[in-house]
Structure 1
Amino acid sequence: MTELSPIIQLGNPLLRRKAARVENIQDQQIQKLINDLMTTVNKSNGVGIAAPQIAESLRLFIVASRPNPRYPDAPEMQAIAMINPEIIGHSTEIVKDWEGCLSVPGIRGLVPRYQRVEVEYADSSGRQQKQELTNFVARIFQHEYDHLDGLVFLDRVESTEELMTEEEYQKQIVKSSEASTNSSR
């Protein structure tokens, strides 16, 4: 049975640990972990979650972009488990955009990320995959990949002036985005 796992918060030393490689993807515990992560990201209105965020220090995360209250403009995609992922190439173009994190509740930050990344990973069946990700989905991948190396988005924010509370983000950024979308219809 899949469970909603407790998400550890900033300050927990497990968030700062470099995660270990997954050795046996077919192991029942790994398959259960993947299912638990899928359930947790879905029920938490996240667009991604890494195993270290639920206190499992393994190189595994879920990318699950879809519109939700935290990310109303997120593109829709099938949730994917990415195991032992690697970034094998990236664009030179770096874009700053707002990020939040289930392990850092209540805060958003402007984070510079590559616009495009080429990645390799094993899927939940153990098959090697290679993909090019762009824009928001590339941002999710990079954010979750950081978790595997003990980093959180706050480590990438260039200035404390580029931080805001979730409440202000919803008022200023989401509302202005909705207003401009409605006026262009």
Structure 2
Amino acid sequence: MAVLPIRIMGDPALHAPAARVDEITDDIRQLVADMFETMDAAPGVGLAAPQVGVSLRIYTYTYVDDEGAPWRGVIINPELWMTPLEPGAPDEDEESEGCLSFPGERFPLRRSDRVRVTGTDLEGAPVSIDVDGWRARIMQHEFDHLDGILYIDRLDDADWKTVQKVARKRGWGRPGQSWMPGVDDLDA
């Protein structure tokens, strides 16, 4: 297993729809193992293949709830169904999220509270996951990556302006930029 560089906003792999996985090969299994290693090193709660420069419909996820119960897996070729969004502005404390492809920042974003995700696992077996709360947020965030959408693309105008200022200050928004978990100090 290896830690892979994570692409930053502006990289073409992050802004285009990913291709379906036609066959689960040893290369796909290695990619998934590397994605878990990278996600854990970052640390993150999810990682989509486009974030490591591979334009395939795969994402990994991990989360430990308040009781310490682990939830971890991979979904290949996912489909997503969501409950309707609740009206109103997002709560900054409860609904803020971040992204490894726009590291070090968090912004409030309203997401559906409940989702169903179907797809296959690494063995090609069907998977169906019904989740709510933070787990539903993770599923939506990672699924968006597979369609070329970063969570910052969904922000309101005021937060979008802040995103643009941060990106300019850090020199982001151009192709070919990445960071290496466990190596790069993003606070420097």
- Check whether TM > 0.5: yes
Offset of residue 36 of structure 1: 0.3
Q: 1:131 aligns with which of 129, 132, 137?
A: 129
Task: List gaps (5 residues or longer) in structure 1.
Answer: 68-72, 166-185
Please give the secondary structure, in 2, of the residue aligned with 1:79: strand
Q: Residues 65 and 75 of structure 1 are in contact (CA less than 8 Å); yes or no, is this contact kept in structure 2? A: no
Aligned residues: 157
Larger RCO, structures 1/2 (Cα 8 Å, 6+ apart): 2
- Secondary structure of the 1:64 match is strand
Q: Look up the SS of the partner of 2:47 in the other structure.
A: strand
1:141 is aligned to 139
2:179 maps to none
CA contact (8 A) 2:13 2:50 kept: yes
How far apart, CA to CA, are the structure 2 residues paired with 1:158 and 1:124?
36
Residue 79 of structure 1 corresponds to: 72
The letter for the 2-side match of 1:18 is P
Q: Deviations over 1:87-114 (max 9, x none)?
A: 1x32224383111011101221111111
Match of 1:4, SS state, is coil
* 1:65 aligned counterpart, secondary structure: strand
Rounded to whole Å, the distance in 2 between the matches of 1:154 and 1:49 is 16
TM-score between both structures, scaled by the size of structure 1: 0.78
1:179 corresponds to: none
Equivalent residue for 2:35, pick from 34, 37, 46: 37
Q: Distance in 2 between matches of 1:145 and 1:77?
A: 20
- Structure 1 ranges of 4+ moved more than 2 A: 73-78, 92-96, 159-165
Q: Which amino acid aligns with 2:145?
A: H
Instruction: Show CA shifts across 1:100-130 (max 9, x none).
Output: 0111012211111110001101011110111
Q: 1:36 to 1:10 in 2, by over 3 A?
A: same
Equivalent residues of 2:85, 2:110 under 8 A apart: no
The corresponding residue for 2:176 is: none
CA distance 1:74–1:45, change in 2 (3 Å): farther
Q: Distance in 1 between matches of 2:137 and 2:146?
A: 15
Q: Distance in 1 between matches of 2:67 and 2:56?
A: 26
Matches of 1:74 and 1:51 in 2, distance apart? Answer: 29
Q: TM-score scaled by structure 2?
A: 0.77
Give 1:9's aligned residue: 8
**Partner Cα separation in structure 1 for residue 67 and residue 102 of structure 2:** 19
**In structure 1, what residue type is equivalent to 2:82?**
H
User: Do the aligned residues in 2 keep the contact of 1:90 with 1:114 (CA within 8 Å)?
Assistant: yes
- Tell me, which stretches of 5 or more residues in structure 2 are unaligned? 167-188
Cα distance in 2, alignment partners of residues 150 and 122 from structure 1: 21
CA RMSD across the alignment: 2.2
Larger helix share, 1 or 2: 1
Kindly indicate whether the alpha-carbon contact (under 8 Å) linking 2:48 and 2:145 is maintained by their aligned counterparts in 1.
Answer: yes
Match of 1:52 in 2: 50
